[in-house]
Structure 1
Amino acid sequence: MLEIIQNTPIWVFILFVFLVFLGLSQTKDKKSSINKILIFPAIMLLLSYLGVVSAFGFDFQSNISYLLGLAIGVYLSYFFKIPRKSTYDLKEGLFFIKGSFLPFYLIMSIFLLKYYVGVVTAKELEFIHDLSFVVLISLFYGLFSGVFLGRLLVLLKIKKGKDN
């Protein structure tokens, strides 16, 4: 384990600290504009998809698994109305988003998944080419990002309800 940490580039630790602070900022209630709300899911989608592509290339199975995970994540967010207790103030043009640890957990999950895949890839472990590994990792990347995308869609639905 110590060897893994010693061989980890310094920028990974810097990214980790940044993501911890970013995730913790999501635990606080806040008001936010639509432009700010669009950025976060876009970044998470990009990072997770880059994780799939960097690990497996533009592979059919990994892309299908990623999209399936994405769809499941969106569905779960929509079904559970995540983020809960959020509102939109038409006069201010701002969303009120109740703080939650869910985004923190999702951010850390994406980071740790990418770190794990990086380690097993660097160690050239044989199972990284197994279809079950490719499908499972891609599915998780999609699932975590799908929840972020679903949160955005829930907020847009709240806003649309206020616009009418």
Structure 2
Amino acid sequence: MSRQPPAFRRSGPAPRPPSGDDAASPHHDARRQASFALGPAPPTRRHAMLIAILQHTPGWVWLLLAALVAYGLAQSTPKQVSTARAMAAPLVMAVLSWSGLAAAFPHQPLALAAWGASAAAALGLARRLGLWRGMRRAPSARHLLLPGSWLPLALILCLFAIRFAAGVALARDPALALRSDLGIVFAFAYGGVSGIFLARGLQAWRLTRSALPQGLPG
């Protein structure tokens, strides 16, 4: 006795084609247009602002960044440098930091004082932590042996980011230069980076001074 095949079950009512009223309705047309819309969503306001900032940044800024990155990468390998060069680099970074703060907040003497306090605190902390203790005297009294380190590159990028952020903020709203609280925030950031760099220069000076013959001024 053969079995009868089971009857087919209908999962549900078949979809009804749109009637003439539905096809002609504006809501139906809007749904169809939305379903067939292709292409990326329009950029948000934040993305548009970021694109505008990058487009209006002068070309020399990116050239400066490339030069600073190249210098920072060169510090990642051990090398022998003159004592003058070892002490000059931290001073140059400190001058760039100070000038950036003074240019952004020229009427904020409290911010300039905060820069000095932050730099002094960061210098003392860097010495206590021994961030530059790997520096050694070379056989030549006028040269130093610098270990490879990624710290200079990190400090350089921090300094560039701080200066870039200050420039963008003041370009959007020049009145921010009169806000003492904002000036102090940037001063502490600038001073902290500068103090760590100055600790390297101080370490180089101490090693150079200890290498001089007794009785000669350091």
User: Under a length normalisation based on structure 1, what TM-score does the superposition of the two structures give?
Assistant: 0.92
Contact 2:111 2:187 (8 Å CA) reproduced: yes
- 1:85 aligns to what SS in structure 2? coil
Give the corresponding residue for 1:19. 68
Quick check: which one's helix share is greater? Answer: 1
Of residues 49, 55, 75, the one that matches 2:98 is: 49
Of residues 104, 124, 136, the one that matches 1:75 is: 124
State the Cα RMSD in Å.
1.7
Give the corresponding residue for 2:157. 108
C-alpha separation in 1, matches of 2:131 and 2:156: 15
Contact 1:74 1:146 (8 Å CA) reproduced: yes
Post-superposition CA distance 1:26-62 (Å, at most 9, x none): 1111111111112211210111011111110052111
C-alpha separation in 1, matches of 2:155 and 2:121: 14
- Number of residue pairs matched? 164
Q: CA deviation at 1:80?
A: 1.8
Give the corresponding residue for 2:7. none
- 2:137 aligns to what SS in structure 1? strand
Q: Identify the range of structure 1 (73-82 vs 16-25) with the bigger mean alpha-carbon deviation.
A: 73-82
Q: CA deviation at 1:158?
A: 2.7
User: Under a length normalisation based on structure 2, what TM-score does the superposition of the two structures give?
Assistant: 0.70
Matches within 5 A, 1:78-97: 78-97=127-146
Q: Identify the range of structure 1 (26-35 vs 119-128) with the bigger mean alpha-carbon deviation.
A: 119-128
Matched, 1:138 2:138: no
Instruction: Letter of the 1:153 partner, please give it.
Output: L
Larger Rg belongs to = 2
Name the CA shift for 1:90/1:159 in 2 (closer, same or farther; >3 Å): farther
C-alpha separation in 2, matches of 1:119 and 1:109: 15
Gaps of 5+ in 1: none
Give the corresponding residue for 1:160. 209
Gaps of 5+ in 2: 1-49
Post-superposition CA distance 1:10-29 (Å, at most 9, x none): 00010111111011111111
Name the CA shift for 1:155/1:80 in 2 (closer, same or farther; >3 Å): farther
